[in-house]
Amino acid sequence: MLTPAFLGPLAAHAFLQYALLGGVLVAIPCGLVGSYVVIRRISYIAGAISHSVLAGLGLVQYLRVVHGVTWMSPLGGAAAAALVSALVIGWVSLKLRQREDTVIGAVWAVGMAAGIVLISLTPGYAADLMSYLFGNILMLTPRDLVLIGALGVAVVAVVTMFHKQLLAVCFDDEFASLRGVRTARYHFLLLGLTALTVVVLVSVVGIIMVIALLTLPAATANHLTRRLSHMMIVAALLCAGLTAAGLALSYGPDLPAGAVTILLTGALYFATALIKRR
Amino acid sequence: MNAVANPVLACHGLDFGYDGRPVLRDVNLAIPAGDFVSVVGPNGSGKTTLLKLALGLLRPTAGEVTVFGERPERARHRIGYVPQHAHLDPLFPVSALDVVLMGRLGLGPRLGPWRGRDRDAARAALAEVGLGDHADRHFSALSGGQKQRTLIARSLAGEPELLLLDEPTAGLDAHVEEGFFRLLEELNRRLTIVMVSHDLGFVAGVVKSVICVGQKVVVHPTSAITGQVIADLYGADMRMIRHDHRCSEEGHQC
């Protein structure tokens, strides 16, 4: 997998080393949070959050170029948009459960639309749209890696502290609430973790394919393991391995790394699903 | 039955409806400590609704329900609730022990992993329901009866005084059901049990009284259940199975 055609350049170019390290670092929140997303069955909420990220990215670029506002980073804008979407969807699913799917669709499309309008209002930045949508792991900077690493540490800390409650809420939230667990709080905590994880994954595979990298390694791990803690570890290892493989295989033929990563991820998922069915 | 002192579960003039459609009307009942009650009635009659009112998951539109003399929300930690297992995700990655540990929420530590004390309590609860060697089995690999026992163990892990079960025998075959009632009979030595049943669930001879939920809610000692009572409730003749009655309390007729 790590062919000489990739290893040579890897030793020579810092951007490839950053990309490889970025893939390993995102794997930690991806495996942990992706497992919760799969067992709680909120893949579509994660999809809506990821698409709404474009509004945040577009707003930061627009403010920077048109109004000279420089203190906001694209990643910060993305995180803000993702957290706002998570709050909106979380509130709606608590208060108006029967309309949840409609609101998920609305957040999904309105977030995209706002982002596209903002980017079209921003002169000279249309090229960024492609890297937002499809990701560009080769553009990761050391500063991005520090942020991704910090998020990974934060996710591990939160999961270690609240795993009991999160597990109970995902398995049977009615029972958890009867045992005194504030289930709404943990619902929002999970959506918040999902939002932040989506933001770091966007830098690797882009807005459109985030949902696959978040959920498919975890779903594959679900086929292979029997306990949530094992599922999380296997999902994180798969996520790291798949982004590294996607990077290595795409580099020689100059293919988009994000898309190759997702093709590998999807192939592995369908293969284990078929074997599991036997 | 209205003269029960310190009832575990009591309703006074309780009304409940969904969106203005009345489901339960003027329910008055008092369940004493140590009772084993089966709540029976046709589908849609409000049996599960009565259970959810007792758990504080639903609020009465009029009247009140009390558990251990308090509002249900305040007494929840003394209630062990056993829902139907059919709504749980069959692929969910948990072992039987993981499921039972969820019953320790509220008793164990708030932050971080479970302590040894919680694991011991969960293992003891599994042993009590006869699944001592199944702690590490995948929950989805258990049979229907074993899943039901696991959920009972989960509620026992919370050290309850009152056990509320929602259709615990749904989907179990007859000999599994028999063993299941033996387990409940054993638990009834130290716990008050209220069980919603899709059938006349007192056939095993372990139930001490029956609450019939229909147009009105009526409490009977099991000895007062006659073919006429059942016909009134279900609107048709049902098969009656004889068993030994152990109940001597006074009940009233429908």
Burial class (CB in 10 A: 0-12, 13-18, 19+), B170: middle
B132 lies in the same domain as B12? no
What is the three-class DSSP state of B250? Answer: coil
Task: Report pLDDT for A125.
Answer: 60
Sign of CA dihedral A27, A33, A35, A37: negative
Please write the tens of the pLDDT for every residue from A195-250. Answer: 999 998 888 888 988 999 999 999 999 999 989 999 999 999 999 999 999 999 98
| Cβ atoms of residues A205 and A258 within 8 Å | yes
Task: Report pLDDT for A119.
Answer: 87
Range of the domain at B171: 1-68+161-254
CB–CB contact B106 A181 (8 Å): yes
| Element counts in chain B: helices (H) and strands (E) | 7, 9
Task: Report pLDDT for B82.
Answer: 92
B19 lies in the same domain as B58? yes
**Angstrom distance (rounded) from CA B146 to CA A163:** 25
Please write the tens of the pLDDT for every residue from B216-225. Answer: 666 666 655 6
In degrees and rounded to multiples of 5, residue B250 shows phi and psi of -80, 135
| Cβ atoms of residues A187 and A90 within 8 Å | yes
Nearest to B81 among A175, A181, A225 (CB): A175
Q: Nearest chain B residue to A35 by CA: give it.
A: B93
How would DSSP label each residue in B114-156?
A: PPHHHHHHHHHHHHHTT-GGGTTSBGGGS-HHHHHHHHHHHHH
Nearest to B102 among A161, A176, A225 (CB): A176
Please write the tens of the pLDDT for every residue from A54-109. Answer: 999 999 988 988 888 888 888 888 999 999 999 999 988 888 766 788 889 999 99
Domain count, chain B: 2
- Give A103→chain B minimum CA distance, Å: 24
**Angstrom distance (rounded) from CA B78 to CA A243:** 49
Q: According to DSSP H, which parts of chain A are helical?
A: 4-12, 14-40, 43-67, 74-95, 100-121, 126-134, 142-178, 183-224, 228-251, 257-277
Instruction: Order across the sheet with B62-67: list the strands.
Output: B21-31, B9-18, B62-67
Lookup: tokens for A246:
């996607």
Q: What is the dihedral of CA B74, B76, B79, B80, to 10 degrees?
A: -170
Helix (H) or strand (E) holding B16: strand B9-18
Domain end position, chosen among B160, B178, B197: B160
CB–CB contact B102 A172 (8 Å): yes
**Angstrom distance (rounded) from CA B6 to CA B67:** 10
Domain end position, chosen among B160, B178, B213: B160
- Give B32→chain A minimum CA distance, Å: 22
Q: How confident is the model at residue B246 (pLDDT cuts 50, 70, 90)?
A: very low
Q: How confident is the model at residue A191 (pLDDT cuts 50, 70, 90)?
A: very high
B243 lies in the same domain as B169? yes
Of the CA atoms within 13 Å of residue B10, those in its CB half-sphere come to: 17
CB–CB contact A231 B138 (8 Å): no
Q: State yes or no: pLDDT of B238 exceeds 50.
A: no
State the average pLDDT over residues B226-232.
56
Task: Report pLDDT for A98.
Answer: 67
> What's the CATH number of domain A4-272, 2.40.70.10, 3.30.457.10, 1.10.3470.10, 2.60.40.10?
1.10.3470.10
B43 lies in the same domain as B11? yes
For chain B, the residues whose C-beta falls within 8 A of a C-beta of chain A are: 55, 57, 76-77, 79, 81, 83, 88-89, 91-95, 98-99, 101-103, 105-106, 108, 111-114, 138, 154, 158
Task: Report pLDDT for A74.
Answer: 82
Domain end position, chosen among B103, B127, B160: B160
Lookup: tokens for A180:
């005194």
Instruction: Order across the sheet with B209-213: list the strands.
Output: B79-82, B162-166, B192-196, B36-40, B209-213, B217-221
Lookup: tokens for A58:
């577009």
Q: How confident is the model at residue B239 (pLDDT cuts 50, 70, 90)?
A: very low
Please write the tens of the pLDDT for every residue from B77-121. Answer: 899 999 887 778 878 999 999 999 999 998 888 898 899 999 999
Chain A residues touching B103 at Cβ < 8 A: 179
Mean pLDDT across chain A:
89
For strands B62-67 and B21-31, give the pairing: unpaired
Mean pLDDT across chain B:
80
Q: Is residue B35 part of a domain?
A: yes
Task: Report pLDDT for A231.
Answer: 95
Q: Is residue B208 part of a domain?
A: yes
Q: Nearest chain A residue to B100 by CA: give it.
A: A168
Q: Is residue B77 part of a domain?
A: no
CB–CB contact A164 B55 (8 Å): no
Lookup: tokens for A112:
């995209």
CB–CB contact B77 A160 (8 Å): no
Chain B residues touching A179 at Cβ < 8 A: 76-77, 102-103, 105-106, 158
Please write the tens of the pLDDT for every residue from B160-192. Answer: 999 999 888 777 777 777 788 888 889 999 999
Q: How confident is the model at residue A139 (pLDDT cuts 50, 70, 90)?
A: confident
**Angstrom distance (rounded) from CA A270 to CA B1:** 61
Q: How confident is the model at residue A50 (pLDDT cuts 50, 70, 90)?
A: very high
| Cβ atoms of residues A63 and A69 within 8 Å | yes
B150 lies in the same domain as B175? no
Please write the tens of the pLDDT for every residue from B52-83. Answer: 999 999 889 888 999 998 999 899 989 999 98
Q: Full-prediction pTM beyond 0.90?
A: no
Task: Report pLDDT for B203.
Answer: 53
Chain B residues touching A228 at Cβ < 8 A: 93-94, 98
The share of chain B scoring above pLDDT 70, in percent, equals 80
CB–CB contact B93 A226 (8 Å): yes
In degrees and rounded to multiples of 5, residue B24 shows phi and psi of -120, 135
- Give B45→chain A minimum CA distance, Å: 22
B63 lies in the same domain as B165? yes
